[in-house]
Amino acid sequence: MPETPPFRDDPGSGLLASEVAGDNAPALSITEISALLKRTVEDRFGFVRVRGELSGVKRAASGHLYLSLKDESARLDGVMWRGGAQRLGFVPEDGIEVVATGKLTTYPGRSNYQIVIERMEIAGEGALLALLAKTKARLEAEGLFALLAKRPLPYLPRVIGVVTSPTGAVIRDILHRLRDRFPTHVVVWPVLVQGPGAAAQIAAAVRGFSALAPGGAVPRPDLVIVARGGGSIEDLWCFNDEDVVRAIAGSTIPTISAVGHETDTTLADFAADMRAPTPTAAAEIAVPVRGELVAGIADLHARQQRAVVRLVSLARERLDQRARRLPHPQALLDGQTQRLDDLGDRLRRALAHRTGLAAALMAQRAAGLRPAVLTARLQQGRERLAAQRLRPALALQRIEGLRGQVEALDRVRRSLDPKAPLKRGYALVTGADGQLIRARAAAAGQGLLHIEFADGVLDVQPAAASAPRGSARGRGTSAADTQPKLL
């Protein structure tokens, strides 16, 4: 059987790749085919709008935003460069349905395709409200809307700060209403109230007012009003921005939120200390009516005057009533005058009677003072004195009795004297501490003994102890140089 020649026309039959003349499909490198694919995709899908739900949102340190768009059956990676991410009017979060505008491209490093987003918007009012509810619940859980954190507004602020657009009708309405009610110093911080960058300016303005120092070149407001006119939910969206809400909640100055009309509600309303249905209503809340205050003060002054006059009038009426009840002064004195006259007459009669009695008594006593009577009484006194004179025998008898008692007591004293037996040959033995020694065993335990005789004291040492030198004490008697031993 003849050998079968190789089929050179079959590209898959050879072991080595070879180029055939006229071949219109040359081999391409991976980079070349990736570039062709990238160019084809970008040419075909250079401008697309994609609607989907955000997933895996991540903001890199460079500021670029990486995310995925998905629906119920597909997923598309996406990237938004830093410049576009900074212009977003909302904070992208997982679960938000958006419409992204941009172009499709490929990423050769991972052999996949993605959308480069130039603009991203929330897909419809429903999605916007869902994002609002989600943000509100998160901030409310942090305590930014707590009622206990609300501060009372000053009754009459000297300076009012207004954060709003300087060219809109809002600032004119606020100034007009303040001028009508109570002219007040107003400091306006101009900001954008709609569109890109508005949220950052509003937050910076609220924080800027709080940062002002009292007494500086720009007066520090006592009250801040954040205001804007009515509009759609998209127009008012910057007042739902998290940065704005945190700035209002963290303000050191009481704030009033006056955004939109009465039916419009933003997160700034929940964060502020007071919500006003309109900017004009905010001005009415901020200050009282000056005319009403003046009228009220005048009314209080008039009431005060009437109260003072009324008090004086009532006091005068009471005084008159009580004065009428008092008797005439002369009537009060008539009775006392009559009594004085009566007592004076009685006094004269009493003095005359008393004088007569005293004269009679004196005459009676004088009659008893004759010399004979006095001489008799003197003699009687002398006789009684002579009878009462003391006899010496009685005094001597008393003295002898007392002397016997003293001698008996002295005999008892001599018999009880502890040193009397010393004259009969006895001696007193005491230790070094002065305590009396009554037994030989007690004497043997002493280091030094004092023996007192009738004519002096001798210090001795028992035989068991060493022999210190003795010394004599007492009435001039000295002991021997060598201390005697007590055996």
| Same domain, yes or no: 444 and 321 | no
- Give the Cβ contact number of residue 431 at 10 Å: 16
Distance separating the N- and C-terminal Cα atoms of the chain: 161
Same domain, 331 and 453: no
Q: Inform me whether the pLDDT recorded for 189 exceeds 60.
A: yes
Question: Pairing relation of β-strands 255-259 and 223-228?
Answer: parallel
Query: Does residue 309 lie in a domain region?
Result: yes
Does the pLDDT at position 7 exceed 50? no
Query: Per-residue pLDDT for 307 more than 80?
Result: yes
Q: Which range, 212-216, 397-401, 482-486, is most confident?
A: 212-216
**pLDDT number for residue 209:** 95
Q: What is the CATH number of the domain that holds 34?
A: 2.40.50.140
Q: Do residues 175 and 274 both lie within one domain?
A: yes
Domain presence at residue 16? no
**Cα–Cα dist 207/245, whole Å:** 11
Residue 401 falls within a domain, yes or no? Answer: no
Is residue 181 domain-shared with residue 275, that is, in the same domain?
A: yes
- Which residue in 243, 169, 261 sits closest to 201, CA to CA? 243
Percent of the chain residues topping a pLDDT of 70: 87
Asked, for residue 305, whether it belongs to a domain, the answer is yes
- Give the residue carrying structure tokens 């590209």: 11
321: in domain: yes
CATH number assigned to the domain comprising residue 246: 3.40.50.261
Q: Is the domain of 165 the same as that of 75?
A: no
Task: Answer yes or no: do 161 and 261 share one domain.
Answer: yes
Contacting residues for 161 by C-beta, under 8 A, at least 6 apart? 186, 187, 188, 189, 209, 221, 223, 224, 225, 253
Range of the structural domain that residue 297 is part of: 289-336
Q: Is 376 exposed, middle or buried (0-12, 13-18, 19+ CB in 10 A)?
A: exposed
Examine the domain organization and report whether 303 and 225 are in the same domain. Answer: no
- Domain termination residue (choose one: 78, 106, 122): 122
- Which of 314, 336, 358 terminates a domain? The answer is 336
Number of domains observed in the structure of the chain: 4
Q: Which residues pair with 453 in a beta bridge?
A: 456
Residues 266 and 313 in one domain: no
Sign, CA torsion 411/413/416/419: negative
User: Based on the domain organization, do 261 and 297 belong to the same domain?
Assistant: no
> Per the domain annotation, does 412 fall within a domain?
no
**228 and 271 part of one domain:** yes
Domain shared by 84 and 174, yes or no: no
273-298: pLDDT as tens digits: 999 999 999 999 999 988 888 888 98
Kindly report, residue by residue over 127-149, the tens digit of the pLDDT. Answer: 677 778 888 888 888 888 888 88
pLDDT 10s digits, 333-378: 878 888 888 888 889 889 888 898 888 888 887 776 777 777 888 8
In a domain, 347, yes or no: no
Same domain? 266 vs 304: no
Complete DSSP assignment for 72-121: SS-EEEEEE-HHHHHT-SS---TT-EEEEEEEEEEETTTTEEEEEEEEEE
Q: Give 344: exposed, middle or buried? Use CB within 10 Å, 0-12, 13-18, 19+.
A: exposed
Answer whether residue 354 is part of any domain.
no
